[in-house]
Structure 1
């Protein structure tokens, strides 16, 4: 559960391996000492929680997370679920939604891979670019069933900020309480109207690829946040960076985990956001949502 005393990064990875699918060793994010050292610095800056989004077949490593918690004092919330179509194991196609839900429920109630670490979040449940496939719809159904059985919140993946509105519609149709849903990666393109629709339906949204300026500039992220600020909707927004590659770590030449606090927060303050609004997005909203 959430440590209420500090900030929360709501969409991160501490051990993920998509290198086989992407044919790129940079996508094997597993350098323990380097990640440990960055988390120690992050904790000194006031971050108390990392919501770790890596689930089945993405290279999740429960013992790695437990070791990081022991060595850094950082609270890590682990996830259960399945990612998106091209990363699914073969059995997804043949199993029912209740059978897939049981896998998630067991990891929430009993633990992950025989360790003491229990999943706290159903995530990251994803859709493909510009489509939600039939198998993805089944996994969303399973995620709803797992939420209904455990009460744990659901955090999604939208590929390049597509299909967020459709995810909300599907989840509503499946009977999900949207107060327990956050739509991920809403900040990879200009889409204020879609974000307003998601919030109006009752969901939270994440600006969780902060610093990935090659996808979408941070200044544009701030402009969308300003539009939400003007409408009094920052109480439905959470922030993160979604680091997934070795090259994202500071010592490897990347921005590093601290970029959000060291660079992006001052940009927000300069753009007219108050410290109270920053606390809302980085502390109060995650505390309310992740519990």
Structure 2
């Protein structure tokens, strides 16, 4: 359950993608620095972080629980499998039913032998402009788990690609689109592309805020203004998707507070209303996680 306050909808308290990426910066395991930043977030009104780290991504439940306890931030855990390049070998060996059973167990019983239960399915992803057979099987497994447990689903799109295809997949499998978030859509840089998804009734995330090497924040702000003007801001969530040591303040990175300290004032300059900002940061996450109005 979410606590009353701001929610970052797509983050990683700790994550390890370093072996696949051959880069130790991709092993986010700096406990004191993370706690320091989360305490700072708490002072700014953040009460919840949806941690979308799952199988094969270096999930560490005791570590995250300790961060939560020391910072005061309520951290929500996830279940699922990321994308093919990072899958554990079991994904290639098991059926969609077996993979679904693993997710269901983490929702109903607990993750990795703990009593800590997953509250959301994700992040499940597609590759860049490519949806592999293994990824399709994971999505099918996620649908099985979703229908049995009623837990929501959150996805990864690689640089925003295959967003429409993901929507079509969930429609085909008769999933309630209001219970699904398509991730990283801000990286498309295309408001009309995103609006086509929103009109279907699905939710989206602008969750790479601050990663201007991929997309300028000014473009994100322009896209959100158009989405606001079209009346779909209730289906939008915000986050930063911090995954590297170099993203943190102690390394000279933007840090988690950038979303509130810099991006929100930018949105205001572009005509995004206080009401819209409140919805994206507080009201929309609460509605989504509890399963609707």
For the aligned pair, the TM-score class normalised by the smaller chain equals: over 0.9
Question: 1: distance between equivalents of 2:95 and 2:112?
Answer: 22
Q: Secondary structure at the match of 2:199?
A: helix
2:260 alignment partner in structure 1 = 261
Instruction: Provide the residue aligned with 1:2 in structure 2.
Output: 2
Partner of 1:105: 104
Corresponding residue for residue 211 of structure 1: 210
1:196-235 residue pairs with structure 2 within 5 A?
196-235=195-234
The CA distance in 2 between the partners of 1:158 and 1:246, in whole Å, is: 22
- Pairing 1:91-130 to 2, within 5 Å after superposition: 91-130=90-129
Q: Is it true that 1:59 corresponds to 2:25 in the alignment?
A: no
- 2:160 paired residue number: 161
Tell me if 1:45 matches 2:18.
no
2:287 — aligned with what? Answer: 288
SS of alignment partner, residue 201 of structure 1 = coil
- Deviation string, structure 1 residues 123-155 (Cα, Å, up to 9, x no partner): 100000001111111100100111111111000
In the other structure, the counterpart of 1:131 is: 130
Q: How far did residue 194 of structure 1 move?
A: 2.0
Offset of 1:94 from its aligned partner? 2.5
Query: How much does 1:46 deviate?
Result: 0.4
User: Contact conserved, 2:224 with 2:272, CA < 8 A, in 1?
Assistant: no
**Distance in 2 (alpha carbons) for counterparts of 1:193 and 1:278:** 20
> For residues 240 and 270 of structure 1, what CA distance do their matches in structure 2 show?
19
- Say if 2:186 and 2:206, in contact at 8 Å, map to a contact too: yes
Which residue does 2:169 correspond to in 1? Answer: 170
Please give the alpha-carbon distance, in whole angstroms, between the structure 2 residues aligned to 1:64 and 1:35: 11
Structure 1 CA distance for aligned equivalents of residues 188 and 96 of structure 2: 32
Does the CA contact (< 8 Å) of 1:156 and 1:183 recur in 2? yes
What is the count of residue pairs matched by the alignment? 290
1:81 aligns with 2:80: yes
* Cα distance in 2, alignment partners of residues 211 and 261 from structure 1: 11
| Deviation per residue, 1:26-76 (Å, 9 max, x gap) | 000010010011000001100000000100001111111111111111100
* SS of alignment partner, residue 187 of structure 1: helix
Q: Distance in 2 between matches of 1:266 and 1:193?
A: 24
Q: Give the root-mean-square deviation of aligned CA atoms.
A: 0.8
Distance in structure 2 (CA, Å) of the matches to 1:197 and 1:97? 29
Deviations 1:176-216 (A, max 9, x none): 11110000000113222221121111110000000000100
Q: Which moved more, 1:111-120 or 1:73-82?
A: 111-120
Equivalents in 1 of 2:155, 2:204: separation in Å?
A: 10
**What's the counterpart of residue 278 of structure 1?**
277
Q: Structure 1 residue 107: deviation in Å?
A: 0.4
Q: Is the 8 A contact 2:12 2:51 kept in 1?
A: yes
Runs of at least 5 residues in structure 1 that lack an aligned partner in the other structure: none
Distance 2:126 2:244 in 1: 21
TM-score (norm 1): 0.98
CA distance in 2, matches of 1:92, 1:50: 27
Measure how far apart 1:93 and its partner are: 2.0
Corresponding residue for 2:241? 242
CA distance in 2, matches of 1:190, 1:270: 19
Deviation, 1:116, is: 2.5
